[in-house]
Structure formats: C-alpha cells, structure tokens
Structure 1
Amino acid sequence: MIFESLPTTPTSEELLDKAFSRAARAGRAKQGVEAQQSMLQTASNILGDNLHNVVTEWPDFDHVDPFYGELADAILREEFASEDGVDELRQHLSELSWASSKTHDLGREYIGRLPNDAEKARKLRKQGFARMGSVMNQVEDDLAAVGAARDALKTIPDIRPDVPTVVVAGYPNVGKSSFVNAVTNANIETAEYPFTTKSVDIGHFQHERVTWQLVDTPGLLDRPADERNEIEDQAVSALTHVGDVILFFLDPSGTCGYPLGDQRALRAEVADRFGDTPLVTVCSKTDLSEEVEADCYMSVENDEGIEETLNAAVEAAGHEPELPFEE
C-alpha cells in the first residue's frame, strides 16, 4: 500500500538537534576557519537533505490511483479539520521544500562569507546556525502536520485497486460477514478507516486461478447516505473506483432488525451511487425466508447457494484476466 512505507516524519527540534550535534563533531575534527566551514556544511546538509527526503517520500497525488487519492483526501480533511485535505498537505510539503532549499542556501552563503580570522569565523558560523534555526522554526507546524498526515494515512485499509473486487453492501446483520467468512475460508484482514471505529473486512478467493478480493465496509455501505457524515460519504465515493461488482444483501426474514422497505431503499441508493457498476441482489437467510425478489438465494446456515452467489458476482463483473502473450 502506497502510504504504508512512508517513514516517520521528524520534528523541527529533532532535526536541529541532529544537525547541530553532528556539526559539533565535524568541527572538533578540524581546526580554525576550516572547523567553522565544516560545521556549516554539515548542519546545512543534514537539515536540507532530511527536509528534502520528507517531501520526496510522498507520492505525487496527481498520479495516485483515484481510490487512494479520494480516500486520502477524505482522511486528511478529517485530520486537518479542513475542506482542503490533500491540497493542504501539498501546501505543507511545499513549505518544507522551501526550507530544504533555504537551509542549503544558508550553508553556502555563510561558508562563502567566512573570513580568515578563526574567531570572527566562529561568530559568523553562529549567525548562520541562528538563521537555520529560524527557518526550522518557521516550518515547525508544517513538519507536525505532515507527520500527522503520515500517521493517519498509513492505516488506510490495504484494498488493491488492481485486483478484481466484490464490494459487499447491505444493512447490518443481514449475513454479509458470514458470507465473506464462508467464501474466503476465514482468511479475513481487518483494518480501520481513521475516521470510523468500524473495521473494514477484506477477504480473498480464487476463481479460475485469478485472485479476487471481497470488501465489506461496516459503517459506510450499511446505512443511508443521510446518516453518513461528509467524510464517510467521500470514502464511499472512493470505493466506487475499486468495485467491479456489488453484492447487495437483503434479509426478508426481518431478523436483522431493519424493515425490508428500508433495505430496498438502501439498495437503490447504492446502485445509484455506484453508477455503472453491476449490482447483484442476494436474498440471505433463505433458511428463514425467501419472500423477496433477488438474483441469488443463499443460506450460510444451511450451506446453500453460497457458491452460486459467488459465481454470479464474478459473472456480473465480467472481469477478463490478462493472459500471457502468445506467438
């Protein structure tokens, strides 16, 4: 996952401590003006290079898969309590890029100004350090914001946009989790969106030697849009980029606690939100009731219709696996 490998972002204080302590060691290895030159070079290199590395470790959001791009924007809007999300992160990274260039420039400037007198050179070096410290103070909040963004985004569920995907939807307790567990042999990975306490369940299954993923998103696609906040709604928008087919579960028995009319209304809303994505309606809990029109009828309790439901989802998705080039 693209954000998982982002390194920890150092604080301004940590970078200054690192730069000036290493500069002091570099200075002790030399004498006179040469020692001051070495200290300036070391400090500016450490500050400039580390800031540069913070910026370049981030992906270019213009080339990030739309799923991760929209989801990142939703998470960062929540993190920054802002309407800007990714754009605000870009601004913080831009400030760090400026600070990287500025600290390098200050090193070159003060090295170029060092006189031949060792004491005067020491005083000038201290001025250079003070200006580098001032630059780092200016971007202290930017480093903190980038660090907070990294911590939030590294927890994005590892949903693979390049893998054919079945998105499971429907009200709570309609049999979705039982189905996902049944068809994936309980090989379930769970992760949490940073803005919800609900876990996202991600399972995998093989069909004709192709790996598919099933994604069940409690807290997102198990309630009407008017009950989701703006950030959760954007996460649903992100899911439209990865879903090859929607399996929508209906429980006509009523044991889920939601009237069938409400379940049908949610199905219509999900179908509208996912646009051209095929939607397969599943009558779940057929051991209790089959009184609803559906594409598939299934009971995990009785081990009936599970394979047929999975095959219907694969067929509706129409995924064509890439085959090796044949001469």
Structure 2
Amino acid sequence: MQLTWKDIPTVPNSNDMLDIVLNRTQRKTPTIVRPGFKIQRIRAFYLRKVKFTSEGFIEKIDDIILKFPKIDDLHPFHKDLMDTLYEKNHYKISLASVSKAKTLIEQVERDYCRLLKFGQSLFQCKQLKRAALGRMATIVKKLKDPLVYLEQVRQHLGRLPMIDPNTRTLVICGYPNVGKSSFLRKITKADVEVQPYAFTTKSLFVGHFDYKHLRFQAIDTPGILDRPTEEMNNIEMQSIYAIAHLRSCILYFMDLSEQCGFSIEAQVKLFHNIKPLFQNKSVLVVLNKSDIIRMEHLDQANIDLINSVKQMDGVEMIETSCINDEDLLAGKNGNGNGDVHWRWLFLILVILNCIGLGITIIILPETCRSLVGNGDPIWAIGLKKLNTLTPEETKLFFRTRMKIHLGGILKPISESSKFLELYEKPPTISLRNYIKVLKMKYILLVSVSVGLQFSLYYAFVVTLSHELKDNYGFKNMGMAAGYVVPGSGLIIGTLTSGRISDKFMKKWIKEDKVIYPEKRLIFQLIGIYTSCIGGIMYGWFLQFHVSVVAVFISSFFVGIGLTWATNSSTTYASLIAKAQTGTAVSIMNAIRNAGAAISSGIAYILINKMGCGWFFTGLSLLVAISTVSVLYVMNQSYKKCLTKELEKAHIDKKLSDNISVSTINLNNSDNKEEKEQKSNNIKHNKLKTMPLRNQSKTSSITPSNDRLV
C-alpha cells in the first residue's frame, strides 16, 4: 500500500512539455534529407520523426498517469482525505483528460504514419510530418488547465505526512488550543508548531515513538468545533476522517482551565457528538493543563459532567500536564533516543554478517584441517625433532608456522599418508551436504537444547536495559555499563570452558576409560544448568526489586553458562562431522539465532502477562528440560562405543584362540613328520642290508642273477 507520494515527478505545463519534446526530437533526429534521395529513404526519415515525437509525448504523459495515485485503489482514509483536499471529481477529470490526450496522440501517430508510407515526394512527406506534429501540439495545448491543477496537487501531496492506516496509532483530537500539539511534541520528536492561539494546526501531523519495543505513530489533528459535519470546513474534516477510518486509540483532550476559550460543558458536549466515531476503539480522555487546575478543584457541576464521560463503557481518564510532564501517559518513558537508534546497529550487524558469510562461502573451504591439520608446523618437516633439523628444514618450519598464523596456506602442509589419512579433504559446499548434516539427529538434538538456552539469554538481554531504567533509575551510560557484567561472564566462560574440557579429556584418556566425543557434552550440561539458575534468580530479583548487585550476579551466571554450553556443543559438532565442520556449526548457529529472535519478540508480551519472575522461571525450566535430549545423546553414544569395545575384544580373543590352535596343530604335524622320517630311515637301513643276504643264498643256485643284483 502506497503511503507517501514524494516521488511523483514534476508536472510541466503545456508549453514546457511542447518545448521539451520538440527540442529533443530536433536534437535526436536532425534533418538529413536532401533532394535526390530515394523516396523510400525520405519516407523512413519522416516516419521516424513522427514516431519519436509521439513517443516523447506519451512518455511524459505516462509519468503523470502512473505516478499519481488512483483514488479508488486507496485506503478509505486516504480516499476521503484526498476528496476533502482536492475534490475527488476534479482530480479524476484532470487525470482522465491527460489519459485521453495520450490516446489521441497515439491515434494521430497511426494515421499519419499510414499516410507517410504512401508519400510521393519530399514536399508531400514534409507537409504530412508538419501536420502530425501540429495536431499533437494542439492536443497538448488543450491540457493547460489539467496540468496546472495536477502540479498543484503534486506539490501538496509531497507535503502530506506518511500515515500508515494499519500500524499502532494514537489519534489526538479535541477542541482547538487544548494542548494537542504540545503533547505530540513531548512524546515524539515531531516538529509541530505550538502557539497560544486557536487553529494553529491546520493539517495532520505525525510523530513516532517506541514504547516497550513497539513502534507507535501519533497523529495530531486540527481542532474540531461543535457543529454538524455538513458545516465543517476542510481543516476540521481531516480530523473527522482520521477518527473515523484509522484503526487507533483515541486521545480526547480537554482543557480544565478553559483557557482554550471553550467551557468544560462545551467540551463534554463535543465528546458526546463525535462519540459515534469512536465505535470499536479504545478511548482515553486526557484532562490537560493540570498544572493550572486539577479536577478536584472544579465546581461540582463540572465534576459531574466529567464523571458522566468517565462512566461510559470503554472510556478511561487521566490528568496530565505538558509543562511539568506529569503523568504523560508513560509514553515518554518508552521514548528514549536509544530505542530508535539501536535498531540501526542491528541492521548494520546483519549486513556485515551477510557479507562475511558470502565471503566465507566463496573463498574458504568447509574446514581448513585438510590444509593445516592441527596447526602444528612440524608436519611440514616430517615429524622430526626440532634439535635434529637442518638449516633448510628450520627455515621451512618457521615459514610454515608464520603462514599458519597469518594465512596463506593454499595446499596441505604435508603430503604424508598419515597426514592425508587424519585430515581428509572436505566435500564441496552444497545443499545436499546441509541436508546430510541435518539428518544427523545427535547434532540436531544438541543444537535445539542450545537454541533454547540462547532464547533465555536474549530474553535477558532485551529486558536488562529497560528494567535497569524503570526499576533502578539508571541513565543511558549506566544501562550501557550494566552489560559489562554479563559480558565479563561471556569472556571468562570462553577462556575457561575449552581449557577445562581439554584437561579432563586428557585425564580420562590416561585412565584408559571408554572415551567418546559425546563426553564433552558434560560441560554443556553444566553450562545450561548454570544459565538456568542465573535466569531464575534474575527474574525473581527483578520481580521483588532486589538490590541491583544481585541482578548483576545473576546476569554473570547467565553469561558464563551460555559460553560453556555453546563452546562444548561447537566442539562436539566439529568432532562428529570432521569433514563438514563448517556446515554443522552453521546449522547450530541458525537454530540458536532462531531461538534468540523468537524470544526477543515475545519476551515483553509474556512478561506483561506473567511477570518477570514466572516468565524467566518457566523459560529456565524449559531449557533445563531440554537437557533430556543431551542426556539421550550421551547415553546412546556410550552404548555404541561400549558395543564396539566388546566386539573388538571378542575379535581379539577369537584371533588369539585361532593362533594357539594353529600352533598346536603345527607342533603335532612336526611330531608326525619326525616319526615318519625315523620310520623311513629304518626301512632304508633294512633295504641296505637285504641284498647282501640274498646274494649269498642265491649265488650258488642261479649264478646268472648276479647282474640283476
């Protein structure tokens, strides 16, 4: 929905439009026709000239038709407002005249282009061109009055305030000179003219302010007199349309001192007359100028009149003063300058993060472990001891170390098989890899738990400054300094969590226990429970307005617990998805940021309904309950790891049994071979002696067998 019309181009009058278009035509299509040219070339030149002129007029007219708002498509408020300011029928007729001129110019172009296609001579084509341009100029000259009127409308539209009919709105109304503009100037930074006489405000003015992280627009309307709407002028009708059409809260101002020139009775009567316009709207009657006289100091007749208004359904009442800021609707409390400017800081951070993310995805790989390993330059010299290095190897060692710290590693620092096996090359970044990591339920469960913890932390962050200001009277510098305590908790948690977890992991490895990556999640549980304790303390300390020192102590616990949990979960993700560390961490961060965004949006809504104590208690308990998923991950991983150890032990035992059986069999086979060898030797010895005996016995019987023996 269009809310402002400052981009409508200037509407030239008829003479200016003729000068602009015809001069451009002459400049872009200079006369290059000479006697002796072929007739086809002459026709093409004058056809181009007529078409170019027609396109120039149509372009200017289209700028007017398309940029000006169409009344029938506007919100009812803007529609009636334009009807009051510019007279709807006159506006429509002017735009219709311009649109009709466009149609006529297009018709002239078609007619004369058709004639030019059959021109028989240079003179005839030139006359047809002059006639076409002349008719177009006549059509434009007839737009003199509509163009002047539309230029006046354009200038006035550009000065209208940008009023959004669908946002949170306060409409300030009442008699003239009752303090409406002064109130708008107090609660917003709108530059509204304030004078001690009636009808200073002749049009609508808009200001904006923030209250409890919600954006409001406040509309100062011109004063209304108590008379029928048929007799009201255009200035008063702007107020009537704002009250009738905008979904808003109505602030009806009354001057108890009657310095505005109207009695309390007249102001009450006006309220009753315009009350039908307040249907389905919240109404707050503001008894202004209480610094001059208060309600209890009025006579009984006026008090009864005011009470008759107060007793109506849906009407509330408040006394205020714009001089000493007494009970200024508490709107001023929500309108610190920082409430507007801190949003720009978040916008800048989002833009920088998007740029950094794009650079990271384009330039950096999924993980740099495949290039630098664990960051030890000793890989580059083949894992040698430093005291045994040659001068060239020493130079290579320090050069590699400098590149690792300063950047510039483009290929692996070692080509050894051990290095390539430990630090494999990561896959290319793709949507399929993100889906693959998302299917790793252990990472998803751990991320959800930390995301809920982030929601607790950001609920604390968005409420701390306002609670310090509202409950403890802190100024801007004090509120900023209040974030030093949770910030120090974040720093200390970052420095200690990694060192302590690494120390315990080394200790567990030395004790030869069952070690698995999920064991690091013990420190995530410690961080989550620490944050939950700090969150519950913080909520109830604010609820009962305990000393601000106690609030800062609880905020320290929230900060240090957050970093313990996030560092542990990030380390776990890098161990589980070694080749896709970047993808795993980015998914975890996305879940965390989603929790932070939701919490920041609904924190104050729930606090207003439940109170700080119960809100932070409920959120902390929800975070604590989410640790069930972390315990489940640890339990399942321990079972898997234990099963693998048992399988490994079983395989080792089976291998040892097979080796012992084979050894026994080998021994048995050796014994058999020895026995066979002995028997063979005995047989061989027997065979050696047997021929001698046979020879002695048979030689006397068969002497012819000697050769056989």
The TM-score bracket by the shorter chain reads 0.7 to 0.9
Aligned-partner SS, 2:159: coil
Aligned residues between the structures:
298
Query: 130-139 or 269-278, which moves further after superposition?
Result: 269-278
1:280 aligns with 2:284: yes
State the Cα deviation string for residues 147-205 of structure 1 (Å, max 9, x = none). 22222332223222222111112234433333323322xx01449xxx99735442222
User: Which AA in structure 2 matches 1:306?
Assistant: L
C-alpha change, 1:231 and 1:198, in structure 2 (3 Å) is: closer
- In 1, the alpha carbon distance for the partners of 2:18 and 2:69 equals 26
1:303 equivalent among 321, 325, 330: 325
Shift of 1:34: 3.3
Q: Which residue of 2 aligns with 1:60?
A: 70
Gaps of 5+ in 1: 77-84, 312-322
Task: Determine if contact 2:171/2:220 at 8 Å carries over to the other structure.
Answer: yes
Q: Which residue of 2 aligns with 1:91?
A: 93
Q: Which residue of 1 aligns with 2:295?
A: 290
State the Cα deviation string for residues 89-147 of structure 1 (Å, max 9, x = none). 22221221121122122123212212141121111111111211221123222222222
Task: Determine if contact 2:250/2:281 at 8 Å carries over to the other structure.
Answer: yes
Q: Which has the higher contact order (CA 8 A, sep 6+)?
A: 1
1:117 equivalent among 121, 129, 152: 121
Task: Determine if contact 2:169/2:218 at 8 Å carries over to the other structure.
Answer: yes
TM-score normalised by structure 1 residue count = 0.80
Q: Which residue of 2 aligns with 1:238?
A: 241
TM-score normalised by structure 2 residue count = 0.39
Q: Which residue of 1 aligns with 2:505?
A: none
Task: Determine if contact 1:243/1:277 at 8 Å carries over to the other structure.
Answer: yes
Shift of 1:309: 7.7
- In 2, the alpha carbon distance for the partners of 1:196 and 1:155 equals 17
Q: Which residue of 2 aligns with 1:317?
A: none
Task: Determine if contact 2:185/2:192 at 8 Å carries over to the other structure.
Answer: no
1:116-155 equivalent positions in 2, closer than 5 A? 116-155=120-159
Shift of 1:306: 1.7
C-alpha change, 1:27 and 1:173, in structure 2 (3 Å) is: closer
C-alpha change, 1:58 and 1:176, in structure 2 (3 Å) is: closer
User: Which AA in structure 2 matches 1:232?
Assistant: I
2:272 equivalent among 265, 268, 271: 268
Task: Determine if contact 1:99/1:135 at 8 Å carries over to the other structure.
Answer: yes
Task: Determine if contact 2:171/2:218 at 8 Å carries over to the other structure.
Answer: yes
1:70 aligns with 2:50: no
1:48 aligns with 2:58: yes
- In 2, the alpha carbon distance for the partners of 1:29 and 1:113 equals 20
C-alpha change, 1:197 and 1:133, in structure 2 (3 Å) is: farther
2:167 equivalent among 140, 163, 168: 163
Aligned-partner SS, 1:168: strand
Task: Determine if contact 2:190/2:207 at 8 Å carries over to the other structure.
Answer: yes
Comparing both structures, which one devotes a greater share of its residues to helix? Answer: 2
State the Cα deviation string for residues 17-45 of structure 1 (Å, max 9, x = none). 12222222344264244332222111111
State the Cα deviation string for residues 48-68 of structure 1 (Å, max 9, x = none). 221122111122222211111
- In 1, the alpha carbon distance for the partners of 2:48 and 2:329 equals 70
Task: Determine if contact 2:166/2:247 at 8 Å carries over to the other structure.
Answer: no
Q: Extract structure 1 runs of 4+ deviating beyond 4 A.
A: 308-311
2:181 equivalent among 177, 181, 188: 177
User: Which AA in structure 2 matches 1:142?
Assistant: P
Name which one, 1 or 2, has greater alpha-carbon Rg: 2
- In 1, the alpha carbon distance for the partners of 2:270 and 2:254 equals 10
Q: Which residue of 1 aligns with 2:623?
A: none
C-alpha change, 1:122 and 1:91, in structure 2 (3 Å) is: same
- In 2, the alpha carbon distance for the partners of 1:127 and 1:153 equals 38
Task: Determine if contact 1:172/1:256 at 8 Å carries over to the other structure.
Answer: yes
Aligned-partner SS, 1:182: helix
User: Which AA in structure 2 matches 1:242?
Assistant: L
Task: Determine if contact 1:282/1:309 at 8 Å carries over to the other structure.
Answer: no
Gaps of 5+ in 2: 34-41, 194-198, 297-302, 311-316, 334-600, 603-709
Q: Which residue of 1 aligns with 2:104?
A: 102
Task: Determine if contact 1:297/1:305 at 8 Å carries over to the other structure.
Answer: yes
Task: Determine if contact 1:70/1:237 at 8 Å carries over to the other structure.
Answer: no
State the Cα deviation string for residues 66-104 of structure 1 (Å, max 9, x = none). 11111011001xxxxxxxx22322222122112112212
1:36 aligns with 2:46: yes
CA RMSD of aligned residues (A): 2.8
Query: 266-275 or 4-13, which moves further after superposition?
Result: 266-275
- In 2, the alpha carbon distance for the partners of 1:208 and 1:70 equals 33
Query: 63-72 or 21-30, which moves further after superposition?
Result: 21-30
Task: Determine if contact 1:110/1:125 at 8 Å carries over to the other structure.
Answer: yes
Shift of 1:277: 2.5
- In 2, the alpha carbon distance for the partners of 1:167 and 1:16 equals 46
- In 1, the alpha carbon distance for the partners of 2:122 and 2:28 equals 16
- In 2, the alpha carbon distance for the partners of 1:173 and 1:197 equals 9
- In 1, the alpha carbon distance for the partners of 2:69 and 2:76 equals 13
1:209 aligns with 2:231: no
Query: 195-204 or 145-154, which moves further after superposition?
Result: 195-204
Task: Determine if contact 1:188/1:203 at 8 Å carries over to the other structure.
Answer: yes
